[in-house]
């Protein structure tokens, strides 16, 4: 990509990241699945970068690659100026400065530990602060996520509501004072009323501590409330990337258009009559060559048998489609 | 014509100390070939209400109230008669998470056959199965596949097909698109809409007001076991009356329009410890002194709202 900002502005740079998995079966022959295919993006300090796509598009694989849970086939990940090369030193540095919040607050925290121990654990693991200081760091973190330490610190997870659990998970993520948090669908399992509170909390933490977020989701309508930049993933590749309101108001890639078009809006007037899907029904990818979206794309032509590059179409806007001007 | 009428329905679960009322005096109606959406936060009684219409509240009981299907009272019926003539034949349900409850060791065809055998689906069962699978937009080949060979969207279609096998007049769908991707969700919603043109009525349970707006004609807002507002979707979405409905609409993330966040503090009261008077009192921005006593039910153009705010307009 050209026109990138100065490196100091970026907390995370991902360059040409590739990861494929082998699918083995008893009866089927081996199949290679390109889970992440040539993905490049960067997260600016203090901003929220949204990685959006359907299930199986490779969102979570990218998160696992960044945290060093799995190793990439090729490509480069630069976190806070340090290139991740698989050495333990660099992985530990990332894990301390880059925390994760998971989708399911019911299974992400240990049911046999008290809240205070759950939040304290990362401090012990990374050896942050003297043991005597850790208690107060834990209480600070709990206050930071708007939980009352006196009320909650000695409780077990089963005594908490879903929203409280997710706040505990967030408190655990921020105790190490990370520079970045990867949030994997952090609100999709919460009730609408609690959802907004958690989203607000994330924005508040961002303003207060300058934390950058990598926000992974399939839900564009909530992403819109917290994100600055969005990348739309389709089968392991970014098909569109740009400033979030810009992308949502004026999607250029046919896939993004279909995605936004299919989000139900709470205005009944918008839904009178049949909804027009600008997308073909076929779910099979067929050949791996060319544009991945080809078989479902209503505008596909011969040209799409070649693979489109993610190209800059205007300042801060990238699209991987030959017919983006539609 | 009214397909389903529910009057003053109360359902409770037996808990250790005392019964807990999950659905408390709920009334609504649903016309033929129309769809009713039931919305609310977790634990407000949506699913219990759906199960009660099917007279299948596990671990609980229907304490009082009436359920009329095409004018026939269901509550006065013997269980044997209800089970033989109504459950699944006239009223079918797509349970929450049902797509994960398909039996992994039987093919889809075998699972369909089981339904038809249990409910005495007639002699031409293979034709019924073929027609039904086609009606949910799946190929016939799917019938001889096993659940693990199907994608999430296909499994959801199979589960819906199972509910349609006996051509019921009423289908209750409990969170039918949760855990599905937006594109697949949109296709399932399209399918549910098409049921209405096929002559069925639909009760759609969801926590997402966007989904309800897309499929339903009527909507009922549940809060802590009460239906606090009921009416036509167009009416309620453009002019929500109950403060809880107003809050829900403001909370719902929208892909278009303004993008500011509004919060609703607190949690719904626990059904085992309900406050006196209006149950929304603690979270309501417009709460008044008289809200400490039970709110009146005010008739609106297309339904009702249960709130003291509108008492004067009466």
Q: What is the pLDDT of residues B209-249, one digit of tens each?
A: 989 999 999 999 999 999 999 999 999 999 999 999 999 99
Contact (Cβ atoms closer than 8 angstroms) between residue A237 and residue A37: yes
Q: Say if the Cβ atoms of B233 and A199 lie within 8 Å.
A: no
> Does A273 lie at the interface with B, CB-CB under 8 angstroms?
no
Residues of A in contact with B181 (CB under 8 A): 54-55, 218
- SS3 string of A100-132? EECCCCCCCCCCCCCHHHHHHHHHHHHCCCCHH
Calculate what percentage of chain B has a pLDDT beyond 70. 97
Token digits for B180? Answer: 């599905």
Would you tell me how many other CB atoms lie within 10 Å of the CB of residue A3?
7
pTM: 0.85
Query: How far is C-alpha A323 from the chain's CA centre?
Result: 27
Looking at A283-297, B4-18, B28-42, which range is the least confident one? A283-297
Q: Say if the Cβ atoms of A191 and B255 lie within 8 Å.
A: no
pLDDT at A275 over 60: no
The shortest C-alpha distance from B255 to chain A (Å) reads 5
What's the mean per-residue pLDDT of chain A? Answer: 86
Token digits for B50? Answer: 């759906």
Q: What is the pLDDT of residues B69-116, one digit of tens each?
A: 999 999 999 999 999 999 999 999 999 888 888 999 999 999 999 999
Residues of A in contact with B261 (CB under 8 A): 196, 199-200, 225
End-to-end CA distance of chain A: 23
Q: What is the per-residue pLDDT for A323?
A: 78
Q: What is the pLDDT of residues A81-90, one digit of tens each?
A: 888 877 777 7
pLDDT at A23 over 90: no
Token digits for B219? Answer: 């909507």
Dihedral over Cα of A317, A321, A324, A326: its sign: negative
**Mean pLDDT value across residues A163-179:** 92
Q: What is the pLDDT of residues B239-280, one digit of tens each?
A: 999 999 999 998 888 887 766 767 788 888 888 888 899 999
Tell me the domain boundaries of chain A.
10-265+279-319
Q: What is the CATH number of domain A10-265+279-319?
A: 3.40.50.300
Q: What is the per-residue pLDDT for A326?
A: 46
Q: What is the per-residue pLDDT for A162?
A: 83
pLDDT at A173 over 90: yes
Q: Say if the Cβ atoms of A265 and B267 lie within 8 Å.
A: no
d(CA A98, CA A241): 23
The shortest C-alpha distance from A191 to chain B (Å) reads 6
């Amino acid at each position: 990509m050209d026109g990138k900002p100065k490196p100091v502005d970026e907390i995370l740079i991902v360059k040409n990241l590739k990861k494929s998995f082998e699918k083995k079966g008893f009866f089927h022959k081996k199949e290679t699945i390109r889970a992440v295919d040539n993905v490049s993006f960067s997260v600016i300090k203090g901003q929220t970068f949204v990685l959006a796509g359907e299930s199986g598009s490779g969102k979570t694989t990218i998160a696992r690659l960044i945290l060093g849970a799995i190793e990439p086939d090729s490509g480069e990940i630069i976190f806070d100026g340090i290139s991740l090369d698989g050495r333990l030193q660099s992985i530990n540095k990332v894990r301390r400065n880059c925390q994760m919040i998971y989708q399911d607050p019911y299974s992400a925290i240990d049911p046999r530990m008290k809240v205070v121990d759950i939040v304290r654990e990362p401090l012990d693991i990374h050896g942050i602060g003297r043991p005597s200081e850790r208690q107060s760091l834990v209480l600070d973190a709990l206050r930071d996520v708007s939980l009352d330490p006196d009320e909650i610190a000695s409780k077990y997870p089963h005594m908490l509501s879903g929203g409280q659990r997710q706040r505990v998970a967030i408190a655990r993520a921020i105790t190490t004072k990370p520079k970045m948090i990867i949030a994997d669908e952090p609100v999709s399992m919460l009730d609408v009323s609690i959802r907004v509170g958690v989203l607000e909390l994330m924005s508040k933490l961002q303003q207060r501590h300058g934390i950058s977020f990598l926000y992974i989701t399939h839900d564009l309508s909530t992403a819109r409330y917290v994100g600055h930049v969005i990348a739309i993933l389709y089968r392991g590749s970014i098909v569109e990337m740009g400033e979030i309101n810009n992308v949502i108001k004026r999607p250029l890639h046919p896939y993004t258009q279909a995605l936004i078009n299919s989000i139900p809006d709470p205005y009944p007037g918008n839904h009178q009559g049949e909804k027009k899907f600008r997308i073909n029904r076929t779910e099979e990818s067929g050949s791996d060559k060319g544009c991945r979206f080809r078989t479902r794309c209503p505008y596909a032509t011969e040209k799409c048998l070649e693979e489109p590059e993610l190209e800059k179409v205007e300042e801060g806007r990238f699209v991987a489609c030959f017919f983006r001007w539609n | 014509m009214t397909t389903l009428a529910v009057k003053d329905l109360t359902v409770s679960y037996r808990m250790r100390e005392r019964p807990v009322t999950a659905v408390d005096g709920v009334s609504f109606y649903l016309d033929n070939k129309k769809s009713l959406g039931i919305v609310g936060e977790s634990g407000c009684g949506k699913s219990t209400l759906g199960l009660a219409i099917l007279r299948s509240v596990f671990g609980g009981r229907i304490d009082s109230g009436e359920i009329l299907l095409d004018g026939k009272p269901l509550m006065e019926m013997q269980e044997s008669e209800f089970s033989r003539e109504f459950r699944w034949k006239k009223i079918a349900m797509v349970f929450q998470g049902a797509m994960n409850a398909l039996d992994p060791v039987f093919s889809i065809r075998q699972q369909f056959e089981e339904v038809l055998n249990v409910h005495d689906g007639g002699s031409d069962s293979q034709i019924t199965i073929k027609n039904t699978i086609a009606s949910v937009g799946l190929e016939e080949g799917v019938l001889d596949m096993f659940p693990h060979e199907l994608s999430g969207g296909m499994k959801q279609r199979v589960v819906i097909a199972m509910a349609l096998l006996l051509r019921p007049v009423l289908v209750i769908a409990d969170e039918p698109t949760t855990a599905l991707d937006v594109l697949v969700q949109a296709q399932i919603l399209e399918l549910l809409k098409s049921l209405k043109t096929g002559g069925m009525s639909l009760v759609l349970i969801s926590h997402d007001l966007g989904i309800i707006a897309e499929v339903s004609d009527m909507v009922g807002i549940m809060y802590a076991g009460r239906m606090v507002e009921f009416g036509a979707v167009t009416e309620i979405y453009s002019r929500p009356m109950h403060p809880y409905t107003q809050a829900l609409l403001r909370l719902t993330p929208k892909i278009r329009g303004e993008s500011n966040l509004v919060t609703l503090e607190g949690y719904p009261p626990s059904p085992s410890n309900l406050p006196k008077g209006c149950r929304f009192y603690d979270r309501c921005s417009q709460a008044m002194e008289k809200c400490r006593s039970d709110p009146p039910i005010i008739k609106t153009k297309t339904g009702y709202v249960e709130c003291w705010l509108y008492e004067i307009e009466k």
